[in-house]
Amino acid sequence: MALLAPTTGRAAASTPAPSPVRYVYRVVETDSLAAFVFSPPAGSKPANGILLFHGGGWVAGSADWVFASAERFAQYGMVAIAVDYRLSNDKITPIDALDDVCASFAWARAHAKELGIGAKIAGYGVSAGGHLLAASATVGCKGNRSAPDAMLLWSPAVDPAHDPWFEKLLQGRAQAIDLSPADHVGKSTCPACIVQGAEDTLTPVSGARKFCAAIIAAGGVCDLHVYDGVGHMLTRNLKNQEDNFDPDPEKRADGIEQQRKFLVRLGFIPDK
């Protein structure tokens, strides 16, 4: 698996500097899937890594949606990699996207030395991206490709077993429960830290509670931080939780801090 030649640049001109380094981590037919690498400040290598997966209901979004978060993790002292995956359409399903997520972890581990990654690689997933990350750690990856060493999940879709939208996207290739992280937790499931709005109507808090409880029951570690009065992505706009987000700044800041402390506790980053 060759490390393809990188280029410097952003997926969106509106995203602020510094620019990440762009790699192609996988080519599937006509799709070249990109990974955007944000390096930590000089002098902090080798560093643990983290791969970031955007939301968008499995049908929308791109890696630049998590660039700001990647920059934050890089400032913590991590090699942060924002990852593109295939979006669902009439041919592609979340099964394919999960395969891409698994491939991105395998790529990062195979090229850890070149990328400046040390011993461990975590994952950060938002909404549908949280589902794909959690599925890689529970449902698993074909061919024993690498799963994360820890999960940071933000409004994740971890319990889609009875979600008609998710079932529709699978196009009959699997049942929703087959790709439901909450229904596939095992003793080897890595530690997780979840940030969740109590009034979330897209990825209800009941799913996060079920997932976290299953990890703990299996002997694992799961921190669940639920914020009252806010919905999906910690939005204060409870009437429209799909695209007109108005995240509560204080609760968002606390969620970010809780996930930073989680990384410190697990030894991924030093305390500030």
Q: Find where tokens 């990109």 sit.
A: 34
Tokens of 199: 């009034």
Binning pLDDT at 50, 70 and 90, where does residue 107 land? Answer: very high
Give me the pLDDT at residue 203, please: 97
Rounded to the nearest integer, the mean pLDDT of the chain is 91
Give me the pLDDT at residue 45, please: 59
Give me the pLDDT at residue 78, please: 95
Whole-model pTM above 0.95?
Answer: no
31-78 confidence digits (pLDDT tens): 899 999 999 987 655 789 999 999 999 999 999 999 999 999 999 999
Number of Cβ within 10 Å of residue 133's Cβ equals 31
Nearest alpha carbon to residue 50 among 32, 28, 30, 76: 76
How many Cα atoms are found within 13 Å in the side-chain-facing hemisphere of 22?
14
Evaluate whether 6 touches 23 at the Cβ level (below 8 Å). Answer: yes
Residue 250 neighbours by CB under 8 Å, 6+ apart: none
Give me the pLDDT at residue 44, please: 59
Evaluate whether 86 touches 29 at the Cβ level (below 8 Å). Answer: no
- Burial of 195: CB neighbours in 10 Å, binned 0-12, 13-18, 19+: buried
Query: Please, what are the domains in the chain?
Result: 23-265 (3.40.50.1820)
111-164 confidence digits (pLDDT tens): 999 999 988 999 999 999 999 999 999 998 876 567 899 999 999 999 999 999
